[in-house]
Amino acid sequence: MSIIKKIVFKRFNSTLKKTALHDLHVSLGGTMVPYAGYSMPVLYKGQTHIESHNWTRTNAGLFDVSHMLQSKLSGPHSVKFLQRVTPTDFNALPVGSGTLSVLLNPQGGVVDDTIITKENDDNEFYIVTNAGCAERDTEFFHDELQNGSTLDCQWKIIEGRSLLALQGPKAKDVLEPLLSKTAPGKDLKELFFGQRHEFALKDGSLVQIARGGYTGEDGFEISIANEKAVEFAEQLLANPVMKPIGLAARDSLRLEAGMCLYGHELDESITPVEAALNWVISKSRRDLVDQKYWFNGYAKIMDQLNNKTYSKVRVGFKYLKKGPAARNGVKIFLPDAETEVGLVTSGSASPTLNNINIGQAYVQKGYHKKGTKLLVQVRNKFYPIELAKMPLVPTHYYKQ
């Protein structure tokens, strides 16, 4: 049986960046692995992957996502800039609200998926992008800002802050007692999915809390100063319904919730329509006569959306019987086991569905309807799958 030698990780560790919580992870028995240039915990001692996953679905889990890029866009032309690089209408977005969107290259391909929150009128936006895309995103923002030389706005990376994802049905019960009641009506009950507000901890420290996450459960993403991060994490973990959770479970949780992983479901050759993310294209931006208001790749994307000219689309699937999981790169066939019609982008057993195999894939248009029965080929054998609407497991967002 092949097992990666631990010595390899030790060598990597000497050149990897560390989050503010790194030493805490190690003290909690975290197995540290290289991820997006950082040393990150994949699992914790005393918890198996399935136990971590199930704990998050039923209690509350703490994920360190400080490796993700936090940045700020500010200036009078911020909205105008965002209207060009994303398909979302930021004029319509209320202050304190965020939305998932995608950064688009000039061809309409997805540079990264992102959450963008309006902080002050139309002049200030908080942006979170994927750790693995940090270098490309930095290049992208700089290029796009120079490209529109008339735009009066600036983009800069936020330094010195950690990002903690507190996820699970009991997350709100853990977080609420740690917050100071600074103003009447400003409490977690009034922070809904997609919204982000500033709160104070009991000691007066300010944190920004966004409701949402990458698991499909109710939860929060908390931006906090690095100097306060360990103390705060320890306060959260002191609650018996809390456990630290690693990257392994994060991936199986997001897969069940039907969320994309950049590099798997998304890359610069894939449009939002192909990625089945039509909802990031605001309705108010689907009929822009004046080219001046077009977002990157507008003509191609709108042609795909209006005239269904895409050739492939992202789908979810479930196995119809036991077998080895179909992972990234596995081919999908018609029931004739000869005609190739798709490619798996992510796949694994689903702990929530009693370990039946699930996955996401790109399938040729025409074969992409839910309920369609196809075959995946794993190690020269074929296994039957059925395409399924995502999320593959019900979500539990706290919505307005």
Partner 1 sequence: MLRTTRLWTTRMPTVSKLFLRNSSGNALNKNKLPFLYSSQGPQAVRYTSQHEWIAVHQDKTAFVGITKYATDALGDATYVELPEVGTEIAQGESLGSIESVKSASEIYQPADGTVEEINTNLEENPGVVNEDPMGDGWLVKMKLGEGVNVEQVEGLMSLEQYEKTLVHDD
Binding site for partner 1 (CB under 8 A): 1-3, 5-7, 43, 48-51, 53, 248, 251-252, 322-325, 327, 348-349, 351, 355, 357, 379
Choice between 307 and 380, CB closer to partner 1: 380
Shortest Å, Cβ 124 to partner 1:
39
Choice between 209 and 245, CB closer to partner 1: 245
Residue 145 contacts residue 153 (beta carbons within 8 Å): yes
* Side-chain half-sphere CA neighbours of 202 within 13 A: 8
Shortest Å, Cβ 114 to partner 1:
26
Choice between 33 and 341, CB closer to partner 1: 33
Give Cβ neighbours of residue 287 (< 8 Å, ≥ 6 apart).
none
Choice between 61 and 212, CB closer to partner 1: 61
Residue 389 contacts residue 337 (beta carbons within 8 Å): no
Rounded Cα distance, 80 and 293, in Å: 9
- 110: which 2 tokens? 């997805």
Shortest Å, Cβ 2 to partner 1:
5
- Give the chain's radius of gyration (CA, Å): 21
Residue 212 contacts residue 193 (beta carbons within 8 Å): yes
Residue written as token pair 């479970």? 249
397 annotated as a binding-site residue: yes
Residue 154 contacts residue 146 (beta carbons within 8 Å): no
**Cross-strand bridge partners of residue 286:** none
Shortest Å, Cβ 367 to partner 1:
26
Choice between 269 and 355, CB closer to partner 1: 355
Q: Could you list the residues known to form a binding site for substrate, using ranges.
A: 221, 250, 397
Q: Could you list the residues known to form a binding site, using ranges.
A: 221, 250, 397
